Structure 1
Amino acid sequence: MSTHANDPKWTRRISTCARAMAVAGLAIAAAGVTLARYDAIPKLAGFGGLAFGGLLALLAFVLGLIGLVLNLRHPTPTRGRAVLALVLSLPFVAFMVTRPALSGTVPAIHDITTDLANPPAFTKLPLRADNLTGVGTVDNWRSIHAAAYGDLKPVRIARAPAQVIADAARIAKAQGWEIAVEDPAAGRLEATASVSFIRFHDDIAVRATPADNGAASVVDVRSVSRVGVSDMGVNAKRIRAFLKELQGA
């Protein structure tokens, strides 16, 4: 009787299944994020593919461990399949698990601004119809926002609004944002930024209000994600970095 015939069937099956799941998980995730990046499918569908691929990778990792243990007890020709499953799935699982931790503790909101009472308005870029998703009311949004991002305030810059907007447009272009409105006379800028490999789109509005008889400006910024409920803290980070650079321009 051959060695293969004497191999424990469950060791072979589990090791083979682990390898298949690991490969499938990577393939589904790669297809999802790539198709979403080029808008062949909706962004959230692409993210869903990434999440589902991550789940398959987690199952592959567990089965790979089981298959490896079984192979140590009863060596079979499928030991390499269990090892390959672990090698393929571990980095992917680690990536998925660490994403929430890296974003820190942030609230499930996606509309972030320096002025809660009167956020900069979008005049050309449309504000999403479901912008209150996850919060329900404007008052709830303001309460959650104030508790999480109390450091975001208007900034005063000793430059005229027209110059501030010109500087803001230069910074935006350098960061790869797509400018939709650049109106120095009105003290207004609107632009769209892309986030992550999938290229989620976030819309930004910058408002420069005259101060000191026009010699200075009070600057407000608003950054809104087009899809999803939580922005994982991305919009607040963008506003902080943008204002810091604008103040130093």
Structure 2
Amino acid sequence: MAGRSGLGFGGKVAVGGFLLGLVAAVLAAGSGLGNRFGFWTYREGFSALEWIVYVGATAAVISLVGAALSWKGARIALVLALVGLVLGAAVAWIPYKTRMALRASPRLADITTDMTNPPAFVAMLPVRTADKARNSTDYSPDKAALQAKNYPDIKPVMLPLPSEAAFDKALAAVKGTGLRIIAADKSAGRIEATATTFWFGFKDDVVVRVAAAPGGTGSKVDIRSTSRVGVREAGTNAARVRKIATAIAAK
């Protein structure tokens, strides 16, 4: 008998799964946004997320049961169960997938197209200090070895343009990728910018160096992207360097 609510037992299970999935999604979003807006540290956010994953998994299971029990019942119950299943599964799966990707990635959060003489940060240094960046901008042979092994495709961009024109093109490309420009020193051939992730608000810093190409023909553009915190980043900086390089090289 459906009872006064018209949903019956299966419908109530479906509603419960949906509500728990909704709570899990809100908590998961808050775990990262809380760090971004300064309510807690990213470590605290990660710790909370580890438990929230289980909440999401539980919501997915309850919603699945609710969907099975409501298959021939009230349509709204089935819809809520399916939504709860999607929410719960997403909350459980996305952090798990991200964690596995981090574990599989090298202990490297500093990528550059020039491992012998990487572009140097200048205007960004006091910004990183004020933000209490945990990672140093010093470039070591260990970083070069890890990059050569894991990201051998990262190379400088060669342009058939004089340095000033190449700088303008590089600056437009960096702006086009959505990074926030911190400094653009044309005389020094240096562009510095910051990328901020949406969820946790992690900041990665980018420096682009434009110089005359060896031999005096055209220009050589080097790119460097480094994280302020974390020793593993699942290839984020390498992907960013590739994206900027592709934008600069585009005609």
Does the alignment reach a TM-score above 0.5? yes
Pick the aligned partner of 1:239 from 238, 241, 247: 241
Structure 2 residue identity aligned to 1:131: N
Match of 2:56 in 1: 57
Structure 2 residue identity aligned to 1:248: A
- Distance change (3 Å), C-alpha of 1:17 and 1:229: farther
Deviation at 1:186, TM superposition (A): 1.1
- Distance change (3 Å), C-alpha of 1:208 and 1:24: same
Distance in 1 between the 2:36 and 2:190 partners? 29
- Distance change (3 Å), C-alpha of 1:216 and 1:68: closer
Distance in 1 between the 2:133 and 2:194 partners? 17
Distance in 2 between the 1:90 and 1:180 partners? 39
Distance in 2 between the 1:83 and 1:158 partners? 59
Task: Give secondary structure in 1 for the equivalent of 2:52.
Answer: helix
Unaligned segments of structure 2, at least 5 residues: 4-9, 71-76
- Distance change (3 Å), C-alpha of 1:68 and 1:187: closer
Task: Give secondary structure in 2 for the equivalent of 1:152.
Answer: coil
- Distance change (3 Å), C-alpha of 1:235 and 1:30: same
- Distance change (3 Å), C-alpha of 1:26 and 1:179: same
- 8 Å contact from structure 1 (residues 177, 191) kept in 2: yes
Task: Give secondary structure in 2 for the equivalent of 1:145.
Answer: helix
Structure 2 residue identity aligned to 1:211: A
Distance in 2 between the 1:102 and 1:197 partners? 17
TM-score when normalising by structure 1: 0.73
* 2:107 pairs with 1:114: no
Distance in 1 between the 2:99 and 2:182 partners? 31
Pick the aligned partner of 1:210 from 212, 216, 220: 212
Distance in 2 between the 1:164 and 1:182 partners? 13
Number of matched pairs: 232
Alpha-carbon RMSD across the aligned residues, in angstroms, is 3.8
- Distance change (3 Å), C-alpha of 1:166 and 1:62: same
Matches within 5 A, 1:30-109: 30-62=29-61, 83=81, 86-99=85-98, 106-109=105-108
TM-score when normalising by structure 2: 0.72
Match of 1:181 in 2: 183
Structure 2 residue identity aligned to 1:176: G
Distance in 1 between the 2:88 and 2:231 partners? 28
Per-residue Cα deviation, 1:73-132 (whole angstroms, up to 9, x for no partner): xxxxxx98x947535412332333444678895323110111112111000112676436
Task: Give secondary structure in 1 for the equivalent of 2:108.
Answer: coil
- Distance change (3 Å), C-alpha of 1:218 and 1:18: same
Task: Give secondary structure in 2 for the equivalent of 1:109.
Answer: coil
Distance in 1 between the 2:170 and 2:101 partners? 28
- 8 Å contact from structure 1 (residues 165, 182) kept in 2: no
